[in-house]
Amino acid sequence: MSEEKKRWLLRKENIRTIWIIFIVILLATVLAGLFVHQHESFGIEDSFGFFAWYGFITCVGMVVFAKLLGLFLKRPENYYQEDNSNEVEHD
C-alpha cells in the first residue's frame, strides 16, 4: 500500500511525530512532580521521579514474573480445542 493511502496513524512520518509527543508527555509527567504536592504520606514518594522509576521497575518485574510463570503453566493455544471452535463464525 502506498504511503498516501495509509491513514494518518500508520504513515511513517506521523509515527515518528507520535513517538516524540509520547516522550514529551512522559518527561512532562516526571517534571510535574517538582511542582505538584504529593498526597501520600510515606516519604519515598516525594523523591524525584518516584512514579516513573517505580512504575518502570515494577512493570519489568511483572513481565519477567509472568514469563517465568508461563514456563510452568502455559499450554499451546489449541491444547483444549479438539473441536476447533477457536474461530467463531458469523452469518
Partner 1 sequence: MTELLFPPGLLLIFGALLMPLGITIRNALVFSLPVLCLFFIWSAPADYVVTMPFLGFELEPIKITTTGRLFATVFSLMALVGGIFAYKQASTLELSAAFVYAGSAIAVTLTGDLITLFIFWEVMAIGSTLVIWAARHDGAYRASIRYLMVHLFGGLLLMIGITGHIVETGSVSFEALSLNSISQYLILAGFLVNAGAPPLSAWIADAYPEASPSGSVFLSAFTTKTAVFTLLIAFPGTWLLIPIGIYMIFYGIIYALLENDMRRILAYSIVNQVGFMVTGIGLGTEMALNGAAAHAFVHIIYKALLLMSAGAVLYRTGKRRCTDLGGLFQTMPWTALLGIIGALAISSFPFTSGFVTKSMIAQSAADQHLIYVWFALAMPVSSFRGLCSSRKTQACDHLKRHAIC
Which residues of this chain interact with partner 1, rule CB under 8 A?
Answer: 1, 6-7, 9-10, 15, 39-42, 51-52, 54-56, 58-59, 62-63, 65-67, 69-70, 73-74, 77, 81, 83, 85-90
Angle (CA) 71-77-80 rounded to 5° is: 105
Q: Which three cell numbers stand for residue 88?
A: 467463531
Closest approach, Cβ 88 to partner 1, in A, equals 6
Closest approach, Cβ 40 to partner 1, in A, equals 4
Nearer to partner 1, 27 or 66 (CB): 66
CA distance 52 to 41: 18
Closest approach, Cβ 24 to partner 1, in A, equals 15
